[in-house]
């Protein structure tokens, strides 16, 4: 056996350690991908708090760049408020605190002193921000006010904690808060926010449903809540964002008023909306495969991995060609990494598939004989490309990559949204997909549906009409509602 064929054999098969649990075993797969692709280290000794590896952090930052761009382009300004909230402020809004009280971490000592007033670690920042809105807003000319911040928030979650999904320290909580002169403007803001979030999720390839949450699942203190959910591979939906119309509730509590055009003092109308690093969990869960991550081009920290196939005698020539390809891609603003580590080619292939690089370029002596490089898609399709045409070919792949990823995932979600006309039928769907059922919209009937179906009523789907009978009580179905098992 020649040296070359021996190495090739190794590179194709790879050692046994280079494998993941199949994606079908989603929970094991997810944990193993987070660990081996270096997204999160879960060994930090506080429950529900995890460490971002640099690779995961860069992925997160790129995802959040998309989100921030959408907010900025619609007139939201970034600000930052303190982590600690005085107890009296936190306790002011009765409905809000009734729900959050069980989840709050407290600071009640500083050094050796007991604090006169305990300070809460923000579980979310309404009660930190609105006392400042009170000072900032004087007149109708100060409205609308639209700010957002990306901060860590703390929630003492008692359900099973999971990295990126259910955290006690949410490290990347993006919360937007707005104030308006009228109810109509606040409603229009809810629509704008739904649009910004929809475009954001599409830009990271994550398909979603939008539902109006039932009254018992709305944000505490809100008039109503819309939520974005995606479907994870284990058949559970994950709430990946929410948009709330707060009406005048918080404005009344925090005395946030403005002088209108007739010189009258009025309460502002408010909205807020939030997204956490669950959106990164969604990117990972929705697109990954048995070989690891499949990252959208828009957010992949490494879009193209260049792997030299080295043999004694041609090393210099091969490295030169690799460096040239790297440089030309880099000049075009493509995030390229030349993997010149000492690992075997097979190990490098595994690494870049695991890390979700959309394209791998292999260059070896055989490719150079015909002045070509081998371009391998993340799905494993191989094409020989003339060296001088590599940049163009990569750009062609880039231009259609994310659209295809999203369409594939969206079609999959569409398949899993299954209409059911009976309780029996819906039972067979909940737990593996999303049951779409006629619902009268009554709270009592909805709660009983949740019990009978052993799932959560996500609420009325925004893009579907109710028709026929409510599957719970047989009266007219006012809405088409989604029911699923949730994270």
Measured at the CA of 144, the angle between CA 139 and CA 145, to 5 degrees, comes to 95
Closest CA to 446 of 417, 471, 429: 471
Q: How far is the CB of 428 from Zn ion (least distance, A)?
A: 20
Which one of 81-89, 178-186, 234-242, 294-302 is the stretch in contact with ligand A5A (CB under 6 A)? 234-242
Binding at 351: pick from Zn ion, ligand A5A, none (beta carbon under 5-8 Å per type) = none
What are the start-end ranges of the H helices in 41-104?
Answer: 54-72, 87-90, 94-100
Which of 329, 390, 470, 483 touches Zn ion (CB under 5 A)?
A: 470
Nearer to ligand A5A (CB atom), residue 241 or residue 459: 241
Q: Which is nearer to Zn ion, 377 or 422 (CB)?
A: 422
Rounded to whole angstroms, what are the CA distances from 66 to 105, 241, 295, 326, 332? 31, 15, 14, 25, 20
Query: Who contacts 219 (Cβ-Cβ below 8 Å, separation ≥6)?
Result: 225, 242, 244, 272
The three-state secondary structure class of 262 is: coil
* Shortest reach from residue 421's CB to Zn ion, in Å: 13
- Give the residue, chosen from 60, 166, 351, 355, that forms a contact with ligand A5A under the rule CB under 6 A: 166
Q: What is the DSSP letter of 255?
A: T
Q: How far apart are CA 163 and CA 64, in angstroms?
A: 17
Distance from C-alpha of 44 to C-alpha of 311, rounded to nearest angstrom: 42
Alpha carbon distance 169, 418 (integer Å): 35
Total binding residues toward Zn ion, as defined by CB under 5 A: 5
Percentages of the chain per state (helix, strand, coil), in multiples of 5: 40, 30, 30
Instruction: Please identify which residue in the block is written with the tokens 């737990």.
Output: 431
Comparing CB distances to Zn ion, the nearer of 332 and 465 is 465
Nearer to ligand A5A, 214 or 241 (CB): 241
Residue 167 touches which member of ligand A5A, Zn ion, none, C-beta under 5-8 Å by kind? ligand A5A
Q: 241 contacts which partner out of ligand A5A, Zn ion, none, CB within 5 to 8 A by kind?
A: ligand A5A
Q: Report if residue 34 touches ligand A5A, rule: CB under 6 A.
A: no
Report the Cα–Cα distance between both ends of the chain, in Å, rounded: 53
Question: Is 241 near ligand A5A (CB under 6 A)?
Answer: yes
Residue 274 interacts with ligand A5A (CB under 6 A): yes or no? yes
Can you tell me which of 250, 258, 273, 297 binds ligand A5A, judged by CB under 6 A?
273
Q: How far is the CB of 159 from Zn ion (least distance, A)?
A: 28
| 440 is an interface residue for Zn ion by CB under 5 A | yes
What is 299-331 written as a DSSP string? T-S-SEEEEE---TTTHHHHHHHHHHHHHHHHH
Nearest to ligand A5A of 126, 326 (CB atom): 126
Q: How far apart are CA 423 and CA 95, in angstroms?
A: 33
Exactly one of 242, 270, 271, 291 binds ligand A5A (CB under 6 A); which one? Answer: 242
Distance (Å, whole) CA 338 – CA 308: 8
User: Is residue 211 a contact point for ligand A5A (CB under 6 A)?
Assistant: no
- Contact string (CB under 6 A) for ligand A5A, positions 170-209, x = contact: x----x----------------------------------
E strand or H helix that includes residue 114: strand 113-121
Closest chain position to ligand A5A (CB): 274
Which of 76, 360 has the CB closer to ligand A5A? 76
For ligand A5A, the closer CB: 297 or 487: 487
Chain contacts with Zn ion (rule: CB under 5 A): 440, 445, 470, 472-473
Chain contacts with ligand A5A (rule: CB under 6 A): 124, 126, 155, 157, 166-167, 170, 175, 219, 239-242, 272-274, 276, 278
């Amino acid at each position: 056996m020649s040296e070359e064929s021996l190495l090739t054999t190794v590179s194709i098969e790879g050692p046994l350690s280079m494998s993941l649990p199949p994606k079908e075993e989603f929970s094991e797969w997810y944990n193993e991908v987070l660990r081996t692709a270096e997204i999160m280290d879960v060994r930090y000794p506080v429950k529900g708090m995890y460490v971002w590896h640099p690779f995961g952090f860069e992925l997160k930052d790129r995802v959040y760049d998309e989100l921030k761009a959408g907010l900025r382009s619609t007139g939201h300004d970034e600000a930052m408020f303190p982590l600690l909230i005085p107890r009296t402020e936190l306790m002011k809004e009765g409905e809000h605190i009734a729900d959050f009280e069980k989840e709050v971490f407290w600071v009640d000592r500083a050094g050796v002193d007991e604090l006169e007033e305990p300070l809460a670690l923000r579980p979310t920042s309404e009660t930190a921000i609105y006392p400042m809105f009170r000072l900032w807003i004087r007149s109708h000319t100060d409205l609308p006010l639209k700010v957002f911040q990306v901060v860590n928030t703390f929630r003492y979650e008692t359900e099973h904690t999971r990295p990126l999904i259910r955290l006690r320290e949410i490290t990347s909580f993006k919360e937007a808060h707005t104030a308006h002169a009228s109810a109509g403007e606040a409603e229009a803001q809810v629509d704008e926010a739904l649009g910004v979030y929809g475009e954001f999720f599409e830009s990271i390839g994550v398909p979603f449903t939008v539902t109006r949450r039932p009254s018992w699942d709305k944000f505490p203190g809100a008039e109503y809540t819309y939520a974005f959910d995606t479907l994870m591979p284990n058949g559970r939906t994950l709430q990946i964002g929410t948009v709330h119309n707060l009406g005048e509730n918080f404005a009344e509590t925090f005395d946030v008023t403005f002088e209108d055009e007739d010189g009258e003092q009025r309460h502002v109308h408010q909205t807020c909306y939030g997204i956490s690093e669950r959106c990164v969990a969604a990117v990972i869960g929705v697109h990954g495969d048995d070989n690891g991550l499949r990252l959208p081009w828009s957010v992949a920290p490494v879009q193209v991995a260049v792997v030299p196939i080295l043999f004694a005698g041609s090393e210099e020539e091969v490295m030169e060609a690799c460096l040239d390809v790297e440089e030309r891609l880099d000049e075009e603003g493509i995030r390229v990494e030349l993997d010149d580590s000492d690992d075997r080619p097979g190990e490098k292939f595994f690494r870049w598939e695991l890390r979700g690089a959309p394209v791998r370029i292999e260059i070896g002596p055989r490719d150079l004989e015909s002045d070509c490089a081998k371009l391998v898609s993340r799905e494993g399709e191989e094409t020989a490309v003339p060296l001088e045409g590599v940049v163009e070919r990569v750009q062609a792949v880039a231009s259609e990559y994310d659209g295809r990823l999203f369409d594939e995932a969206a079609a999959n979600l569409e398949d899993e949204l299954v209409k059911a006309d009976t309780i029996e039928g819906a039972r067979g769907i909940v737990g593996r997909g999303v049951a779409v059922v006629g619902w009268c919209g009554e709270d009592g009937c909805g709660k009983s549906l949740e019990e009978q179906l052993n799932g959560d009523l996500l609420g009325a789907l925004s893009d579907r009409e109710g028709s026929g009978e409510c599957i719970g009580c047989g009266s007219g179905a006012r809405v088409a509602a989604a029911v699923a098992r949730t994270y």
